[in-house]
Structure 1
Amino acid sequence: MNDTFNDKKYSEAVEIAHIRFGAIAPVLQGLFTEPTKTAYYKKIAEKPFKMPNGKELLYNYNTFEKWEARYKRYGMDGLMPKVRSDLGASRALPDTAIEELFRIKQQFPRINATLIYTKLIEDGFIKQSEVSVSAVQRFIKKNDLKSARNPNMKDRKAFEEEFPCDMYQADTCHSIYITENGVKRKTYLFHIVDDHARLIVGARFFYNDNAYNFQQVLKEAIARYGLCKKIYCDNGFTYVNKQLSLILGSLGIIEIHASVRDGAAKAYVKT
C-alpha cells in the first residue's frame, strides 16, 4: 500500500479492513455452513454492511472473493481502502469511564448517578473540570441503566466449542490494591480461557488496564497453546482497538465481542 494517509484516514481505513475481514473470515476458517463459499458470499451479499460513517453498503458477491484473494496475498493491508471520508464525533465520557460505569452499575444496581460520578472522579476515570454529573445522568438514562434490575437482561443458555483452540474467551478483572514504595496502586488481572477445555491459557497481573498489556498476555497464550480460530471478549477499550484488530486479522483469528451491557455473555471468564 503506497498511498499516504493522515492519522484519521488511516484509522478509518483499518476499521473498514476489519469489516471486510469479518465478512471473509468464515471462509478463511472453513466455518461457513453453506454448500460452497460462493453460496456463502451470495447469502451475505443480500444484506448491507454498515460502515464506520454510518452508511450502509451492498456488495456483489464477487467483491468478497476479491477481498479473500487480496487478504491471502497481502494480509490486512490488502483489505484497506485507498481513501476514506472524514468522520468523527467526540463523546462526553471517555471509553474507560463508560466501561467502569457499566461495571459499577452491574455490581451495585441501585447506585445513583451522583455517586457514580463521584467514584469515577476519585478513581481517575474522569476529571471534574471536563465532565459534568449531568453527562453521567444522560448516559445512564440513554442506556436504560436507571432501574435496579435491567429489564433487557438475557436468559443464558450453555454453549461450548467442539474442540480446544476453537475459541478463546478473554476478560479483565479489577483486582487488589498493592502498596509499593508507600503508594497504593490498583492491579488488574488479564486472563484468557479456552472455551472447550476451560483451561486458562494466559493470565498476568498488571498495574494498568490497557490494550498493550492484554496483547502481551495474548501473545504468551498463543506461544504456549497455539492459534485459536476465534476470540470472544467485551467492548471495553482494551479489546476494541485498531491494533488488536490488525493483529487478529493478520493471524486469521475471528474477533467476536459481547454486546454492549452484556458482559455476562462471557460466562467462563466473568469476574
Structure 2
Amino acid sequence: MDSTLQEQLAAFRYSLIAPIVCRQTPMQTGELQAYLEQTSDQTYRIPGSNRTQVSVRTLERYLSQYRRGEWDALKPKPRGNNGGSRLDPAVREQAIQLRKERPERSVEQIIFLLEESGAALPGTVAASTLARHLKKAGATRIELQSVATGERFRRYEAEDIHLLWQFDYKHFVYLPDPKDPKKKKKTILFAILDDYSRVIVQAQFYWDEKLPRTEDSLKKAILRYGIPEQFYCDNGAAFSSHHLTRICGRLGVRLSHSKPYRSQGRGKIERFFQFVDTSFKPEVYQQVENGSLQTIEDLNKVLWSWLDGYYHKREHGTTKESPAVRAEKSSRTTKRKSLDELTEIFLWEETRTVDGTSCVSLQGNSYEVDGVSSGQKVQLRYDPFDLSLIQVWSKGMKKPNAKPMTVLRYQDRRIKPQTPEPAVILNETEGQLSFFELAEQKRREGWGQDPLEFAPKQGGEQL
C-alpha cells in the first residue's frame, strides 16, 4: 500500500471519529455508544476498498489507535482486501420493502427480520452489502424520511464559544496591482466566524483564494484563540484539499463541509458578508475614490478598525448582544499550540523517490538525502514559503534534513510572491468625516479593557 492511499485512509478514518476526539469535554457512555451505532449504520466510499460500512467494533479500534498515536496511528498497514458479496434479488426486494414500511429501521434490524422470518439464512446477509443495495434503491433512512416529511433546514447555533468556526471567502473591491499600478486587481476577503458569539476570529484580504491563504488565516486564528472543536466550510478547492484534512486531523479538529450548492449551513458567515457589503464596502469605495486607500495593506488596516471599533461592539440582530459581550460571558477555555508546534503541523508534504545519486527533486530544486537507499520513497515536509529547509521522513521515521544542492526556486510555485507596499496614512479629505478613523478611535479606546484583547492585526499581505 503506497503512502498516498495510507493518507487517504487515515483521513477517512479520522472523519468518522472526529466528532468524538475533537471534543474537549468527553462524551458520556450512552452518547458515545449512540454515535458509534449511528455512524456504523451509514454507507461510505472507503478509499481503496469495495466495502461501504464500518462496524462499531472497527470504530472503537480507530478511536483506540488515534488515542495512542493520533493521525499517524490511523494509517493502515498493507493487507489484503476481500471482495463484496452477492445478495439474492428476492431478499433484496423484501429488505427494501421492510425499510419503506418503517424508514427508521436500521440495517441490523432489517437483517434480524429477514433471518427470523426465514427469508434469509442466518449469516448470509452482510450489513455492508445490504446497506449498499438500500442506498442504490433510494431506500436510505434519510431519503425516505425526507420524502415523508419534506426537507427542512433547522436553525443551529453552537452551545458555546469556539466549538464551531465557519470559514469562507468573498470577492471584494479592485485595487491597483502592486506589480503594475496601472492595472486593477481584485481582492479576496477570507473570514473565520465563531458560530456562538459571531466574533470574527480572523479576517484578512489577499490577492487570491488559494489553499495557502486558508492555512494562513486558520493558523493566525488558532494562535489568538486556541483550537476549535469543529471547522466548517464549503467544498471549494481552498477548503477540500487533503492537506487541510491532515492539518485538522493533527490538531484534533473536526473538518466538515456544507453540501454542494447549499449555503444554508453557512448562514452566519453569509450574513456577515452581507453586512460587509452594506456597511463596510461603501466606506471603502469612498476612501478609494478620494485616493486615501490604494493598497491591500491599507484595506486590511481599515478592515480591523471596522471590525473591532464597530462590528464587534454593535448589537447583533439575532443574539441581541454584541459579539464582544457574548464572547466575554463564556468561561470556556481552549487547547492551544505554540507557534513552533503549529509550524510543524502546517508543513506541506510531498512523496518523492530517491535517485541513484541519493538525491530528490522538489519544485525544480535538487536535494541530497542521507540514510535512505536509492529507489526508496520518502516524504518531504516543508514550509511552502521557504524551500531551503526540507524534512525527510521514511517509513514513519524522521531522517536528517535534506541538503540543498541546486536551488532555483525559494518558494513553492503555487505561492504567488507579493510585492511589499508602502503604508499610506488615511486622513480626512476636504473636511469629510472618515468612518474608519472614527472606528479606529473606538477600537483603541477598548485596548487593555476588552477581555478579548482585540489587538491590531498584521496590516499587510503576509503571503
User: Among residues 6, 23, 30, which one is paired with 1:13 in the alignment?
Assistant: 6
Aligned to 2:341: none
The residue type paired with residue 11 of structure 2 is H
Q: Name the SS of the counterpart of 2:159 in structure 1.
A: coil
2:157 maps to what in 1? 160
1:255 aligns with 255
Q: CA deviation at 1:23?
A: 1.5
Q: Does 2:206 match 1:206?
A: yes
Q: CA deviation at 1:76?
A: 1.3
Whether the 8 Å contact between 1:194 and 1:201 is mirrored in structure 2 is yes
Equivalent position of 2:63 in the other structure:
68
Give 1:26 deviation, angstroms: 2.5
Question: What is the TM-score when the length of structure 1 is the normalising length?
Answer: 0.65
- 1:157/1:205 CA distance change after superposition, 3 Å: same
User: Structure 1: how far apart are the matches of 2:158 and 2:176?
Assistant: 41
> Structure 1 residues 38, 265: CA separation in 2 closer, same or farther (over 3 Å shift)?
closer
Q: Which amino acid aligns with 1:207?
A: W
TM-aligned CA distance change 1:189 to 1:21, over 3 Å: same
Residue identity opposite 1:223 in structure 2: L
Deviation at 1:83, TM superposition (A): 4.7
C-alpha contact (below 8 Å) 1:13/1:84 kept by paired residues = no
Distance 1:42-1:15 versus aligned 2 partners, 3 A rule: same
Alignment partners' CA distance in 2, 1:263 and 1:84 = 40
Matched positions, count: 196
Identity of aligned residues (%): 28
1 or 2 for the larger relative contact order (CA 8 Å, sep ≥6)? 1
Residue 13 to residue 267, structure 1, CA distance change in 2 (3 Å): same
CA gap of 1:58–1:159, structure 2 versus 1, over 3 A, is closer
Q: Pairwise mapping of residues 174-189 of structure 1 onto structure 2 (< 5 A)?
A: 174-180=171-177, 181=180, 182-189=182-189
CA distance in 1: counterparts of 2:27 and 2:256, whole angstroms: 16
Q: State which drifts further: 200-209 or 41-50.
A: 41-50
Aligned AA (1:259): K
**Structure with the greater alpha carbon radius of gyration:** 2
Gaps of 5+ in 2: 81-150, 274-463
Taking structure 1 as reference, are residues 157 and 235 closer, same or farther at Cα in structure 2, changes over 3 Å only? Answer: same
Report the alpha carbon displacement of residue 19 of structure 1 after superposing the two structures with TM.
1.8
Task: State the shift of 1:263 in Å.
Answer: 2.3
Which sits farther off after the overlay, 21-30 or 70-79?
A: 21-30
CA separation of 1:81 and 1:183: change in aligned 2, threshold 3 A: farther
Determine if the alignment matches structure 1 residue 24 to structure 2 residue 21: no
- Structure 1: which 5+ runs fail to align? 86-153
Larger mean CA deviation between 252-261 and 52-61 belongs to 52-61
SS in 2 for 1:24: helix
Give 1:31 shift: 7.2
